[in-house]
Amino acid sequence: MDKIKVYFYSSLLLFSMGLTLSPRVVEAAAPLDTVVAVVGDDVITQSELDKEVSYIKVQLAHNSTPLPTKAELESQVLNRMIDQKLELQMAAKLNISIDDRALDQAMDKIAAKNQMNIAALKQTLQKDSINYDFYRNQVREQLIVQQLLQREVAPRVYDISKQDIANILNSKGYQEAHQAVEYNIEDILIALPDEPSSDELSAANKKADDIVRQLKAGANFNQLAVAQSNGDEALQGGALGWRTPEELPQVFVNAVKGLNEGEVSTPLRTGNGIHVLHLVGVKNNNEKHTVHETQVRHILIKTDAVHSDETVRKQLLSLKSQMDSGVSFEQLAEKYSQDPTSAIKGGDLGWVQPGTLVPPFEKAMDALPLKQVSAPVKSEYGWHLIEVLARKDRDNTQEYRELQVKRMLFESRMDEKTQDWLNRMRASTYIKIYLKDDATPVKTTP
């Protein structure tokens, strides 16, 4: 699952490497608390639900999304919290955990994505009344869920073959749709089980038709999505954001092609339920995709119990001095480099793309002028001497399209299998809901 989901605070945009973060404002617990849901051997309290609802209200207000009724919003948030409880309980049974080192790395990446360090991240969270330790725990839980889904759900997603990708790329629908276009789409999903009964299908169709009727009568799409959608993006008003045709299921592409901006689709049946789409906008882009590549070579020497950092660094400086005296980089790499794959090629790593190499190496490489050997650079693998031989921008449009189609196929199948998996966990777990009389019913297990 490679999606990146974005949540807005009043003053901060946080990213989380494909994770859906739900940080909650930490407040003092009420002296008397009540249980709103029992999930297996765990509970969700009213104060926990209130905190989550308060946070979602801030998000919706920031995005100018009208609020549904209190009961509808509580129902949506509680369903999301129940799913997370089920996932964390399963992860605990499977001994899936995230240690502090991995969590520290995740927090560093979140801060870096927002162009700040951890200290600045703490200050920004504090400004928005979000407790850092609580937020850090939320990141840990989402990393755990990510590992759980990769272990339990991803293996159930069928292998995506080259033929699967080619079939889409060569299809008439793809060829017609792929005209350097992006669609800004919002989605309301009425979820269905794998094999719905006639009553379940009838009820879902009736609900979808009613939603379309309300929208055509002037109802706000985002408000209805928050209140009624079962999709992952429900609490963001159903927003899928800008997507290229290859990033969307073909049934979505076919539907939005026939819409004008601002219009909604008729109900669409897919593997995970019935969708109603809202086309927010359309834009045309340059269809070509290029990638910046660097031809680089290196000499690697590792530290060990005998060879300290300082010893290895001095050894590399000695090698660099020999190069200044006329000894070739290739000759020294073949003799001294401890990277066997590149050593036999004179240290040549070939043409590499951004993100291929470890960050310290890549940062030093990008800063180097052509044909100039770096000072010793330390990475997690050891110490390097680096030389950039050439740079170029390459048109990789076809590779990019293939990757996007593969990602789309995986995400589509992963979403369906995840929903099926959650439904099975709900069916096999004792779930009891205690909501007020005016609340929208929440899915329960007797």
User: What per-residue confidence (pLDDT) applies to 285?
Assistant: 61
CB count within 10 Å of CB 265 equals: 22
Q: What is the bridge-based pairing of β-strands 239-243 and 268-270?
A: unpaired
Gap between the terminal Cα atoms of the chain: 32
For the cut 50, the answer to whether the pLDDT of residue 202 exceeds it is yes
Q: Given this model, what pLDDT does residue 180 score?
A: 66
Contact 272, 252 (CB under 8 A): no
- 3-state class (DSSP) for residue 277: strand
pLDDT band with cut points at 50, 70 and 90 for residue 5: very low
Secondary element (H or E) of residue 61:
helix 46-62
Residue 56, pLDDT > 90, answer: no
440 pLDDT more than 70: no
**What per-residue confidence (pLDDT) applies to 159?**
77
Band of the pLDDT at 22, cuts 50, 70, 90?
very low
User: Do the Cβ atoms of 304 and 314 come closer than 8 Å?
Assistant: no
Q: What is the pLDDT of residue 297?
A: 97
The pLDDT of residue 412: 82
Please tell me the predicted confidence (pLDDT) of residue 115: 86
pLDDT of residue 21: 40
Predicted structure pTM score: 0.53
Lowest mean pLDDT across 32-36, 83-87, 213-217? 32-36
- Residue 178: per-residue pLDDT: 65
The single residue listed with the structure tokens 């590992």 is: 147
Domains and CATH numbers, the chain: 7-152 (1.10.4030.10), 173-287+398-432 (3.10.50.40), 290-395 (3.10.50.40)
Query: What is the arithmetic mean of pLDDT over 234-262?
Result: 89
Q: Does the pLDDT at position 1 exceed 70?
A: no
Phi, psi (5° rounding) for residue 129?
Answer: 60, 35
Question: How many C-beta atoms surround the C-beta of residue 425 within 10 A?
Answer: 20
Percent of the chain scoring above 70 in pLDDT: 88
With 60 as the cut, is the pLDDT of residue 228 above it? Answer: yes
The reported pLDDT for the residue numbered 145 is 93
Neighbouring CB atoms inside 10 A of 340's CB total 8
What residues have CB less than 8 Å from 351, skipping those under 6 apart? Answer: 293, 294, 295, 392
- Extract long-range pairs of 122-125: CB within 8 Å, 24+ residues apart: 124/9, 124/11, 124/12, 125/12, 125/23
Q: Residue 137 — pLDDT band, cuts 50, 70, 90?
A: confident
Mean pLDDT, the chain, whole residue set: 85
Least confident of 16-25, 110-119, 170-179, 330-339: 16-25
348-388 tens-digit pLDDT: 999 999 989 999 999 999 999 999 999 999 999 999 999 99
The share of the chain scoring above pLDDT 90, in percent, equals 51
State the pLDDT at residue 442.
Answer: 46
Q: What is the pLDDT of residue 248?
A: 87
pLDDT of residue 15: 37
Give the model's confidence band at 397: pLDDT under 50 very low, under 70 low, under 90 confident, else very high: confident
- Which helix (H) or strand (E) segment is 127 a member of? helix 118-127
pLDDT surpasses 70 at 296: yes
Strand, helix or coil for residue 91:
helix
Give SS3 for 401: helix
Rounded to an integer, the average pLDDT of 327-350 is 96
Taking CA atoms, 346 is separated from 216, 231, 333, in Å, by 67, 53, 5
Lowest-confidence region among 163-172, 308-317, 348-357 = 163-172
Residues 384-397, mean pLDDT to the nearest whole number: 93
